[in-house]
Amino acid sequence: MTHRKLNEIAGGVARSRKARRFLIGGGFAAAVFIASCASTERMVVLPPKIAGASFVGSGDCAMCHWDVTDHFDSATHANLKLAGAGDIDLGCESCHGPGSLHVESGGEMAMSIHNPGRSSEACFQCHTDMRGQFHLASSHPVMSGHMTCTDCHDPHKGPAVIGGGTALHGANDTCLQCHSEQAGPYAFEHEAIRDGCTTCHEVHGSVNPMLLKSRTSNLCLQCHMVEPAGTGPGGGAVIMIGGRDHSAFLSRGTCWVAGCHEAVHGSHASSSLRF
């Protein structure tokens, strides 16, 4: 049921950061784009289709689902609008499909409304570009069904990206629901964590192991600069990092291999995060 074959409605959407308002071209209407000076990125959106039903807008859902609609105004997807016919608030129906039959029947269940449940397919309908990220060598197990988009993105409340992608505290909270160990507390904290998990990790998937943004020491050198220190006694360049000569160390591998800074998230025992 959750994988009901959906939609034919294909429209286009462009984002307007200023207006935070998105138009969806419905039916045979031409694709609608909002010109935006912030970005020219475009997105094809495909709300689910339900045979015989039409879009009624989020307002009608409030009659019975006030627990969801009460705080929906703050949700990212509350801004979705259906082009034409007075710009209906697509809102709820962008994921649940057109609700006229469901509303008329007073909430009759079978086939009258789409319940995505824990399926990510509802999200891929529009966010088609995200699918690839979850097929990368290292990725959160969404394709296997062990996780789903709503583990990290609330569809009903607040910014879909917790913290709106800016508040670091909020962003780390997303990860700490499941990975509390990495936040410590540690006797020797690594200040990098305060900059957010996403300083070093991709959130969906990566070509590098452990969802890392880089598999080399560049990951660390974005903050710990190599200090110019001339040449050593043997004539080779001296590589100073953090006030220590690292010339002989870098050939051993990345910064976080065993014996070096293995405890990248923080350490209970070593100020230089060795273990």
255 binds ligand HEC per the rule CB under 6 A? yes
The span from the CA of 272 to the CA of 264, in Å, is 9
Which of 42, 49, 157, 204 forms a contact with ligand HEC (CB under 6 A)?
204
Give the Cα separation of 244 and 12 in Å (integer): 54
User: Please, what is the minimum distance in Å from the beta carbon of residue 230 to ligand HEC?
Assistant: 22
CA-closest candidate to residue 100, choices 70, 61, 63, 72 = 61
Among positions 38-77, residues that touch ligand HEC (CB under 6 A) are 43, 45, 47, 56, 58, 60-61, 63-65, 68-69, 72, 76-77
CB 34 within 8 A of CB 118: no
Minimal distance, residue 235 CB to ligand HEC, in Å? 28
* Pairwise CA distance, residues 60 & 69, whole Å: 10
Q: How many residues bind ligand HEC (CB under 6 A)?
A: 97
Contact call for residue 89 and ligand HEC (CB under 6 A): no
Quote the CA–CA distance of 9 and 192 in Å, as a whole number: 45
Q: Is 126 in the site for ligand HEC (CB under 6 A)?
A: yes
- Residue span binding ligand HEC (CB under 6 A) among the ranges 81-89, 208-216, 230-238, 245-253: 208-216
Task: For ligand HEC, give the closer residue by CB, 49 or 238.
Answer: 49
With tokens 């990290």, the residue in question is 152
